[in-house]
Chain A
Amino acid sequence: MTNSPLFELRGISKEFPGVKALDNVSFEIKAGEVHMLVGENGAGKSTLMKVLCGAYRADQGAFFHNGAQVAIDGPADARKFGIAVIFQEFTLVPYLDIAQNIFLGREFKSRVSGLIDRRRIHAEAKRALDMIGLHIDPRTPVHKLGVAQQQMVEIAKALSQEARILVMDEPTAALSDRETDLLFAMIKRLKRKGVAIIYISHRLSEVLALGDRITVLRDGRKIASLLPAETSPDQLVMLMVGRPVDATYTRPSRPTPGEVVLEVKDLSGPGRFSDVNLTVCAGEIVGLCGLVGSGRTEVARAIFGADRVSAGEIRLNGKRIGASAEDSVRRGIALIPENRKAQGLAVARSVGDNIVLVGLRKLFPSGIFVPRRAMKAARAVIDKLRIATPSPRRPVATLSGGNQQKVVIGKWLNADAKFYIFDEPTRGIDVGAKAEIFRLLDGLVHNGAGILMISSEQIEIVRICDRAYVMRSGRIAGELKHHELTEANIVRLGIHQ
């Protein structure tokens, strides 16, 4: 690693109407370095990266490439200096193959005028994939790839465009543990080749494990730049939120679990999971863990009645359910899905509309919609969950991730659910909002609800749940109670021996 920075931003300020998004922020990146950028949602990380890649123009500040001052007036300038962003929302075309995606807009011309040289595109793509250690046929259509592989294709695409500085925004958010390991191995490989990586993450463990340097932003200002060795998760959280917060939310004492709310017996879904047995009692939060692909989400969807099963039974308060999702909702099961935007929310509609959506039948038994009553019901939920919105009429899209998640929870509150399934409830949510979501879960079980919670973050399961089931290859590998419920045990049960 050289000591002079490859690229440097000095004194960057950026103002939006009413908000100072960046205030005199300086940031530098060296070749072969992984520079972690952390901060709560709204701290200015994304804005800073958009300035770097030319999507926004800074109001003030200067850029230096290899020590010489340069200008970045647009994305083309940023590309010229080898800056590439790996977007969270992938910029891949689903029905083109990997090679065509990597060379989109830069197709090699064939000797026959007007045609493209597909053979050369595939050969060059293979080289780009080999470079990052992804051994997969470049003729595979992208829609057949998993999230992790798509991300790697994005990275190969950037590198094939001579990118020397990669910006990764929460790259592990959608990956399983094994895929995360692959990504980290690839990042280390890129480091050795002298690629500089700016890495935005909410996961403090990976920030400390992977980073060479850590920069903390808060409210548009740079708070600290430090080395992983000289800090700790607690200190990072304190720097991020600006006040000592108990990041290690501890589970408050809970009433002894009541009667069994949910009972799943010998449940099998063809090719997805088999012989799943589990119970959840009233007043209990039960974890469902395992690697992505172990069948967690599939089991949850089956319990909810969203997918058909081939054998077994599901009982809610002793009565058989699982025939259909409509039936489950009517009987008081709530599913808070993994993908809020795609499955949980009508993003373009208002906060109020979303909140009353599930409870429509109960609120308006006659079938006639009374706006005033809907608004009142929405306001009650907004107050109860402390959703930060100026009005129920605001579109959900304008809310932060944490508040959007509260809206999803809020809509079920209105439907009087007795049993909740949370699939990755804290994905993409900042530290402060996470604690609030957990308190909400607590409130629900205090009122006698049962909760089944899926999470890839084992530490969350250990801290929140009373018990946990660990899945492996579509089966329950084991149940962990009380003192057995540790991260080490979850990992041990979840991986193949």
Chain B
Amino acid sequence: MSTHALVQFKLARVPGVAFALITLCIVFALTSPGFATAINIANVLTQSTILLLLALPMTLIIMTEGLDLSIGAVLTFSSIVLAIVAISTGSAVLGLFAALAVGLCFGTLNGVLVARLDIPPFITTLGTLGIAQGLSLVVTDGQSVVGIPRSIETIYSGTVVGIPLPIILAALAYALTHALLYQTRFGTYVFALGGNREALRVAGISMRGMLIRVYAFGGLMAGFAALLMTARLNSAHPTAGIGMEFDAIAAIAVGGTSFERGNGWLFGTLLGVITVGVLRNGLNLLAVPSSAQVACVGALVIVALFIDGLRGEQ
């Protein structure tokens, strides 16, 4: 094998998302002096945690050939419930439990509608997106909920042995989801739900029960992400989570999870989330308005998948 062929062979094993991430890092490091600093890198990772909490379960949902558009709106509503409960009871813990309960309810509702009533995931979660977003606006009358206990805010700003707390929480969530997908029966059946449902039926496994759990997990994680979001804003805002489903799906697509046959890659999602985070951070440093950033994330998805497609052809 010639050196050239060897290089090609090895490059073919590097996923497109790694190319995208490295390229973006190099470009931003060259164009904005503030990018390649320890503080900024910690900042990018911390800001990516909320997106990661949504993208992890979404990867599983997409692996079942499903989709959850409601995840951003559920996060918003959970955050509002968290703030209201925490303010009225004075207990951050009760607030968190309320947020988890709201997320779990919405997730389970999505799962039941998809699995039991056979409503397509796109339609189901578009509906629950509307419900969650509408409830958020009704409950708050469109205003931010402020005055939450101080202890909540420290969850986002606090550190443990120098590492920001959100990063530790997100790492735990990643480890949990990784174990769930690769080390449990449930995870094995997630692969089968997207890959070959007949295989599950023949094995005598309740497809519907599994599907409901996948969506319920998504809702639960959205409820947990609401804690970080509320802590970050030090308030709950009825439009805080708008568009987060877009970033999550984009990160998963960039990460190389295909939307067919149960072909998913959880580590790719992690890289995809960081890639989207780096892109948004770099554009912020270059003073690109957030509206234009959405377009850039869209372009990133297309470029990353184009690169993957080119390499798949070889």
Q: Which of B179, B188, B205 contacts A96 (CB 8 A)?
A: B188
Whether B149 sits at the interface, judged by CB under 8 Å, is no
If A93-B262, A115-B184, A116-B184 touch, does A105 touch B195 (CB 8 Å cutoff)? no
If A104-B188, A104-B203, A106-B203 touch, does A91 touch B263 (CB 8 Å cutoff)? no
With CB as the reference atom, state the residue of chain A lying closest to B196.
A93
Chain A residues positioned under 8 Å from B289 (CB to CB): none
- Contact count A vs B, C-beta below 8 Å: 62
If A76-B204, A105-B200, A115-B179 touch, does A93 touch B184 (CB 8 Å cutoff)? no
Other A-B pairs beyond A96-B191, A106-B203, A116-B188, 17, CB < 8 Å:
A75-B202, A91-B196, A91-B199, A91-B202, A92-B196, A93-B199, A94-B261, A94-B263, A95-B191, A95-B195, A96-B188, A104-B200, A105-B200, A105-B205, A107-B188, A115-B183, A116-B183
Find out whether the CB atom of B204 lies under 8 angstroms from the CB atom of A93: no
Interface string of B129-150 (1 = CB under 8 A from A): 0000000000000000000000
Nearest-Cβ distance from residue A316 to partner chain B, whole angstroms: 26
Whether A403 sits at the interface, judged by CB under 8 Å, is no
Chain A residues positioned under 8 Å from B183 (CB to CB): 110, 115-116, 118
Interface size class of B (residues with CB under 8 A): 20 to 34
Whether B264 sits at the interface, judged by CB under 8 Å, is yes
Residue positions of B touching A, CB distance < 8 A: 179, 183-185, 188, 191-192, 194-196, 198-200, 202-205, 261-264
* Chain B facing A: main interface SS: helix
Chain B residues positioned under 8 Å from A100 (CB to CB): 188, 191
Residue positions of A touching B, CB distance < 8 A: 75-76, 87, 89-96, 100-101, 104-107, 110, 114-116, 118, 143
Chain A residues positioned under 8 Å from B261 (CB to CB): 94-95, 143
Find out whether the CB atom of B188 lies under 8 angstroms from the CB atom of A92: no
Find out whether the CB atom of A93 lies under 8 angstroms from the CB atom of B192: yes
Chain A residues positioned under 8 Å from B194 (CB to CB): 95
Nearest-Cβ distance from residue B268 to partner chain A, whole angstroms: 13
A-B CB contact pairs (8 Å), 5 listed: A93-B195, A94-B261, A105-B203, A116-B185, A116-B188
- Alpha-carbon distance between A241 and B127 when the two chains are bound, in angstroms: 56
With CB as the reference atom, state the residue of chain B lying closest to A112.
B183
- Alpha-carbon distance between A193 and B21 when the two chains are bound, in angstroms: 56
Nearest-Cβ distance from residue B264 to partner chain A, whole angstroms: 7
Chain A residues positioned under 8 Å from B188 (CB to CB): 96, 100, 104, 107, 116
With CB as the reference atom, state the residue of chain A lying closest to B201.
A91
Nearest-Cβ distance from residue B310 to partner chain A, whole angstroms: 14
Nearest-Cβ distance from residue A54 to partner chain B, whole angstroms: 12
Chain B residues positioned under 8 Å from A76 (CB to CB): 204
Q: Which of A89, A96, A101, A107 contacts B198 (CB 8 A)?
A: A89
With CB as the reference atom, state the residue of chain B lying closest to A76.
B204
- Alpha-carbon distance between A101 and B188 when the two chains are bound, in angstroms: 9
Nearest-Cβ distance from residue B38 to partner chain A, whole angstroms: 37
- Alpha-carbon distance between A101 and B195 when the two chains are bound, in angstroms: 11
If A105-B200, A115-B184 touch, does A94 touch B205 (CB 8 Å cutoff)? no
- Alpha-carbon distance between A115 and B182 when the two chains are bound, in angstroms: 9
Chain B residues positioned under 8 Å from A101 (CB to CB): 199
Chain A residues positioned under 8 Å from B203 (CB to CB): 104-106
Find out whether the CB atom of B184 lies under 8 angstroms from the CB atom of A96: no
Nearest-Cβ distance from residue A76 to partner chain B, whole angstroms: 7
With CB as the reference atom, state the residue of chain B lying closest to A107.
B185
Find out whether the CB atom of A95 lies under 8 angstroms from the CB atom of B263: yes
Find out whether the CB atom of B204 lies under 8 angstroms from the CB atom of A96: no
Nearest-Cβ distance from residue B5 to partner chain A, whole angstroms: 13
Chain B residues positioned under 8 Å from A107 (CB to CB): 185, 188
With CB as the reference atom, state the residue of chain A lying closest to B198.
A91
Chain B residues positioned under 8 Å from A90 (CB to CB): 196
Find out whether the CB atom of B191 lies under 8 angstroms from the CB atom of A114: no
- Alpha-carbon distance between A305 and B205 when the two chains are bound, in angstroms: 44
Nearest-Cβ distance from residue A154 to partner chain B, whole angstroms: 10
Chain B residues positioned under 8 Å from A87 (CB to CB): 198
Find out whether the CB atom of A96 lies under 8 angstroms from the CB atom of B195: yes
- Alpha-carbon distance between A87 and B203 when the two chains are bound, in angstroms: 13
Nearest-Cβ distance from residue B96 to partner chain A, whole angstroms: 23
- Alpha-carbon distance between A403 and B274 when the two chains are bound, in angstroms: 53
Chain A residues positioned under 8 Å from B264 (CB to CB): 95
Chain B residues positioned under 8 Å from A95 (CB to CB): 191, 194-195, 261-264
Chain A residues positioned under 8 Å from B198 (CB to CB): 87, 89, 91
Interface pairs A-B: 4 shortest CB-CB: A105-B203, A93-B195, A91-B199, A93-B192
Nearest-Cβ distance from residue A271 to partner chain B, whole angstroms: 10
Chain A residues positioned under 8 Å from B196 (CB to CB): 90-94
